[in-house]
Amino acid sequence: MDHITIANSRVPVLGFGTWKLFGPECIKATELALIAGYRHIDTAQIYENEAEIGMVLRHSGIARDEIFLTTKIWMDNVGRGKFQRSVDESLKRLQTDYVDLLLLHWPVDDVPLRQQLEDLQAVQQACRARLIGVSNYPVALMRAACKDYGITLANNQVEYHPFLSQKPVLDYARAHGMFVTAYSPLARGKVADHPVLQQIARRYGKNEGQIALRWLIQQEGVAAIPKAARADHIRDNIDIFDFALTAEEMNAIMGLARPDGRLINPDWAPQWDKAA
């Protein structure tokens, strides 16, 4: 399966991440990604590359409805008034009337969660975001959004790779009709050094990164958004649809998770879930 279907939207399970891609490098990489076949593009206000991505998409010749486009509201923009204005600015930079998925980038404590979610929902109701969701939310905040406030979220984007279990988040998402997007799916290159991944890669004539990505997208309700700037890496990352891992191999990779596997843990991070 090369896509996830949610609320009548088709989400390609392999997307192109653009964190730390700027200016001409971002333009070139995004162009190469589209040529390679990517149709899921992920950005964020804080990435400072929405304008470059918007320009590439506008001039690509690819119909807008063939692209699944995600952006994220930065923490400074969640206050009432700033939220809507920041969305308008993002859409202007992206040269589109809507995004396919709009996320709250990180939990914010100094603005009530209900207000943040209602502002997010208002954007969706105005048809400026087809789907809405969150990023870096532990289960407690997912539950608050969905159960306490009755907001229908489609997605939680979290760090997820072979060395970090996200079982609590995945279990909750699957039970509530959400999908999970894995960022840093290659663990910032650390997957290349692991013997288990190396051994599996040799069986399929693939590299370790391709095995890690295949492991992610082969899971129910999981998409992955690897970032790459080099043409060969961009092509390699999407070349994962001509093989499938066995149940034994999937379990072996699942067993690589460890307590210190998290790589992204800034000062403003929430209280993370403990792996079951």
Structure tokens at 166: 């996200």
Query: Token pair for residue 190?
Result: 């650390």
User: What are 252's two structure tokens?
Assistant: 């072996």
**Pick from 269, 217, 267, 225: which is nearest to 105 by CA?**
269
Residue 161 assigned as binding residue: no
Catalytic residues: 47
- Under 8 Å CB-to-CB from 92, ≥6 apart: which residues? none
Task: Tell me how long the chain is.
Answer: 276
CA distance 99 to 26: 19
Distance CA 149, CA 114 (A): 7
The binding site for substrate comprises: 105
